[in-house]
Amino acid sequence: MNQSYETLKTYLERVYAIDAAIRLFEWDCETLAPKGGAENTAKIIGSLCSQYQEALIHPNLQQLVDSLKSGEGLTEAQKAVVRETGITIDKLKAVPAREYEEYSALKARAGRIWAQSRKMKDFEQYAPTLKNIISFQKKFAGYRTQEGQSLYETMIQDYEPGFDLKMLDEFFLKLKDNLVPLLKKVTESKKVIDNSFLTGDFDPEKQRQLADWLVGYLNMDGERSVLAVSEHPFTTSIHNRDVRITTHFTHNLTSSVYSVIHEAGHGLYELGIQDDLAMTLAGDGASMGMHESQSRFFENIVGKNRAFLGPVFEKICQLFPDQMKGITLEQFWEGVNKVEPGPIRIEADELTYSLHILIRYELEKSLIDGDLSVEELPEEWNKKYREYLLVDPVDDGVGVLQDVHWSQGDFGYFPSYALGNAFGAQLYHHMCRELDFEGLLKAGNLEVMIQYLRTRLHQYGKMKTSLSLIREITGEEFNPIYYIQYLNDKYKNLYWES
Amino acid sequence: MNQSYETLKTYLERVYAIDAAIRLFEWDCETLAPKGGAENTAKIIGSLCSQYQEALIHPNLQQLVDSLKSGEGLTEAQKAVVRETGITIDKLKAVPAREYEEYSALKARAGRIWAQSRKMKDFEQYAPTLKNIISFQKKFAGYRTQEGQSLYETMIQDYEPGFDLKMLDEFFLKLKDNLVPLLKKVTESKKVIDNSFLTGDFDPEKQRQLADWLVGYLNMDGERSVLAVSEHPFTTSIHNRDVRITTHFTHNLTSSVYSVIHEAGHGLYELGIQDDLAMTLAGDGASMGMHESQSRFFENIVGKNRAFLGPVFEKICQLFPDQMKGITLEQFWEGVNKVEPGPIRIEADELTYSLHILIRYELEKSLIDGDLSVEELPEEWNKKYREYLLVDPVDDGVGVLQDVHWSQGDFGYFPSYALGNAFGAQLYHHMCRELDFEGLLKAGNLEVMIQYLRTRLHQYGKMKTSLSLIREITGEEFNPIYYIQYLNDKYKNLYWES
């Protein structure tokens, strides 16, 4: 093996150990850690983050990466490790350490102020902090923005390399032109779907049994993954042989069910990453959008498919015979697919979800590249909700204050959610030509499609971009038309042809 | 505040962050981590351990410690932090890095070989590795041994600073002279104690409820501690506001009960350490023995006391009415205190436990300072078990191969267990003169004695040695006579005066 690469690998293992420790602490804080230890533990995590960054911007590492940039004598996986390490170093080095420290402190404060403001439904209290965050974000992006690029485009490419603003504008325009009328048609349909049986008193012990069963049903390898409980469901990966997902148990049965399926989608991606990439900076999903494509593919395209629901509904009936009394599989399928426009993104159904994202995309773009001021934000927010989603947020708590992202400086992140939906639909379209999709689901066979995804997508980690993966797997360029078609077919079936 | 100390503190916080990460990973491996991730995670832990050591032997840290050694302008807590940091650095620096690496690899192998040999009951397979470990240990101790000191004494002082061989010889001789005859008297007594009702089918869910209740009953602060399940019970502290204990659920009800009480003793010590010492190298128990004194005090002196058992037995009867049918508190108290000499240390009752340790002390001393060869070890082991404990190990699996310690190079560690018993008994003797010990237990009031221990002992961490703590708290030197008296009284009461 290349001697310099060997040295790089050894160095990266040290850096990764600290990264893994940060992930484990974060997992632990959300799942088990006693609340009274939070302050000390925050210090520990803060110190580990600093040490992680210092290790990455060490001159020795830069030298090693430079010496390997030609790629001579390296495998494709090794080239990806070198490239991703270089990208991360460049990003870190672009920002002066002192500014970064100031910004980190601001983010910590901003998180608390945001939570407080949301609780008080008081945007004014939050506005100065948000302005501050935006000004830092613009400054930082400015350090890295290329000629002819806008600041927002730079931000987007941190999450979705290969996408420029033009592509995203076209993408979101297509969504707007198609999904806003589709939603209107659905809400005007005479079809009444009852999903009241999904809410009620569901014993958490039995919900846990169902969650454990689902994890197995979705072929998450029990030797390499665990399921735990946290307030907000999430996935973390310590490495590709230790992947962890969480769920929560509420009065809504499907909240836990679809949390498990969604997080399992993320988890299967992490579990599928090849060993050559594991514990390096290339050992993660290709992009935020591609990661979301996997979670949303499982949550919606698989998880809300009638064929998939057959065996799942049977299990649910076993565990909750009283609550499911008199409910048919058809009613259950309709219930989990009911379209209900509302103000809250994380509670959105499959059709309205991308419209929530569309709104955020348009607003972010105006805030960063355009002339929308923070003061005008709530009004703009509500206006767009009325226009695209046909709902009127009753206050800023369920409006512009609902998401944590902006308080943490995550501008450019939201578009990935919608891209993930579209990636998933395009993969699905292609998959259906190769596999008997519904037949496999009906038979409870998930492994064939997981294998399809593992060999063509998961294993490559960051070796390929989302755009090249789509191209290589489907034989054509990324095209959101498949997503729109998929939604049109689905709701036609559900709302005016059944 | 002293500027140099401030710098030291900042540096130590970085070091501590890595130490805390190691502890969290170790906790996680025993409680939750998926088994299939073990190999990758071992690499991560190994890397963190190296980084921890490298940070400690960094020349900057040595300089800082040297500049602060005079103690000028420092509080007592700060002096302890400087002193303990210096001691740790000296210990690490004494061993050449290459030798330490070789030794670490040997230990990793030794752990596997030991486990395999124990399973196969095959000491011969293990002997060459053990020899190797001993020779490394002797070499390493040799680097640090002062004139007039033996190698074994150096090893002992890593665990029990302030104790020399002469003191330990006298201590163990006193145990032998008193406990061997006491055990003989007990086994010859006509009193028959039935404890069969403690073994059977105890629902793990209810055992968990009992464990949770006990943790609260023992005043472990639920805001700063958690209870989890692992194969072998243990305690870990991420810092003094995040302390974690485990238990396990078996067919023996008391196994979980006394695991919880024992680990809570360790946990209360860690929770009591003052904030000035937390997250430093002085923020731990005074010594191994003093830590064990706390766990054993709660397990035995408190936990097996008739007065304490009143409310606990009531709770057990509520949870396990069928199993406890017809059993009186008196029978329960007798049952948990039954003396049953056996070959296995970790299953030993309160009387025989220190005799297991006596045997290990005599053997370690002969192996390190004397001329006992590894080949002769099994025979010597069995001979001493027959002589002191009146039992004959049927094979080396339940004999010389039972403990993991020697495979990990932990020579000099065992004596701490027996010292802990004796420390606890001396503290108990003093406590009884100040507090209405049994009255408080009967009333379910644990807080008064925890407060006693917290203010006089726990809070000081490593600021004071075990010997000076005993002296300051009890007003006299360490004296094992209280331990012997305590056992004599206890078994007289139980076996020939009841």
Phi, psi of A244 (to 5 degrees): -125, 135
pLDDT of residue A210 exceeding 90: yes
User: Average pLDDT of A371-392?
Assistant: 97
- Work out the mean pLDDT of chain B and round it to a whole number: 96
Instruction: Tokens for B417, please give them.
Output: 């267990």
Which amino acid is located at A390 in the chain?
Answer: L
Q: What is the pLDDT of residue A498?
A: 59
Give the separation between CA B449 and CA B440, rounded to whole angstroms: 8
Instruction: Tokens for A17, please give them.
Output: 């150990």
pLDDT bin (cut points 50, 70, 90) of residue A496 is: confident
Instruction: Tokens for B181, please give them.
Output: 């005859």
Q: Are A367 and A378 in contact (CB under 8 A)?
A: no
Contact A241 B36 (CB under 8 A): yes
The per-residue pLDDT for range A452-466, each reduced to its tens digit, is 999 999 999 999 999
Instruction: Tokens for B405, please give them.
Output: 């310690």
Q: What is the pLDDT of residue B2?
A: 83
User: Average pLDDT of B161-183?
Assistant: 97
Known active-site residue A447: no
Share of chain A above pLDDT 70, in %: 100
pLDDT of residue B1 exceeding 70: no
Q: Does A17 touch chain B (CB under 8 A)?
A: yes
pLDDT bin (cut points 50, 70, 90) of residue A249 is: very high
Handedness of CA B313, B314, B320, B324 (dihedral sign): positive
User: Average pLDDT of A322-344?
Assistant: 97
Q: How far is CA A31 from CA A270, B31, B97, in A?
A: 20, 13, 38
Looking up tokens 């689901």 gives: A441
Give the separation between CA A196 and CA A185, rounded to whole angstroms: 23
Catalytic residue among A263, A292, A334, A364: A263
Contact A37 B279 (CB under 8 A): no
Q: What is the pLDDT of residue A162?
A: 96
Contact B34 A222 (CB under 8 A): yes
Give this complex's ipTM. Answer: 0.94
Q: Does A18 touch chain B (CB under 8 A)?
A: yes
Q: Does B35 touch chain A (CB under 8 A)?
A: yes
pLDDT of residue A14 exceeding 70: yes
- Annotated catalytic sites of B, by residue? 263
Q: What is the pLDDT of residue A402?
A: 96
In a 13 Å sphere around the CA of B445, the CA atoms on its Cβ side amount to 11
End-to-end CA distance of chain A: 61
Phi, psi of B170 (to 5 degrees): -65, -45
Chain B residues with CB-CB distance to A37 below 8 A: 224, 238-239, 241-242
Give the separation between CA A62 and CA A462, rounded to whole angstroms: 20
Phi, psi of A247 (to 5 degrees): -140, 180
Q: What is the pLDDT of residue A2?
A: 83
**Angle B415-434/B350-368 helices, nearest 10 degrees?**
140
Q: What is the pLDDT of residue A411?
A: 98
- Work out the mean pLDDT of chain A and round it to a whole number: 96
**Angle B350-368/B123-144 helices, nearest 10 degrees?**
70
Chain A residues with CB-CB distance to B240 below 8 A: 40
Chain B residues with CB-CB distance to A240 below 8 A: 40
Distance from CA of B213 to the nearest CA of A (A): 17
Residues 6+ apart with CB under 8 A from B368: B134, B137, B138, B141, B150, B151, B152, B155, B411
The per-residue pLDDT for range A147-175, each reduced to its tens digit, is 999 999 999 999 999 999 999 999 999 99
Contact A13 B43 (CB under 8 A): yes
Give the separation between CA A12 and CA A80, rounded to whole angstroms: 13
Nearest CA in chain A to B238: A41
Give the separation between CA A369 and CA A379, rounded to whole angstroms: 19
Q: Are A61 and A11 in contact (CB under 8 A)?
A: yes
How buried is residue A433: exposed, middle or buried, by Cβ count under 10 Å (0-12/13-18/19+)? exposed
Angle CA B212–B34–B229, to nearest 5? 15
Contact B20 A240 (CB under 8 A): no
Q: Are A492 and A351 in contact (CB under 8 A)?
A: no
Distance from CA of B481 to the nearest CA of A (A): 40
Looking up tokens 């025979």 gives: B379
The per-residue pLDDT for range B249-302, each reduced to its tens digit, is 999 999 999 999 999 999 999 999 999 999 999 999 999 999 999 999 999 999
Distance from CA of A36 to the nearest CA of B (A): 5
B 220-259 → A contacts, CB under 8 A = 221-226, 228, 238-243
Q: What is the pLDDT of residue B498?
A: 58
Q: Does B101 touch chain A (CB under 8 A)?
A: no
Most A CBs within 10 Å, among B16, B45, B212, B238, to test the A interface: B238
Phi, psi of A61 (to 5 degrees): -70, -45
pLDDT bin (cut points 50, 70, 90) of residue A1 is: low
- Number of residues assigned to chain A: 498
The three-state secondary structure class of A164 is: coil
B 274-303 → A contacts, CB under 8 A = 278-279
Chain B residues with CB-CB distance to A241 below 8 A: 34, 36-37, 39-40
pLDDT of residue A97 exceeding 90: no
User: Average pLDDT of A430-445?
Assistant: 96
Q: Does B47 touch chain A (CB under 8 A)?
A: yes
Helix and strand counts by DSSP (H, E) for chain A = 20, 3
Q: Are strands B235-239 and A225-229 parallel, antiparallel or unpaired?
A: unpaired
pLDDT of residue A222 exceeding 90: yes
Share of chain B above pLDDT 70, in %: 100
Closest residue by Cα to residue A202 from A236, A249, A165, A243: A249
**Angle B350-368/B165-188 helices, nearest 10 degrees?**
140
pLDDT of residue A181 exceeding 70: yes
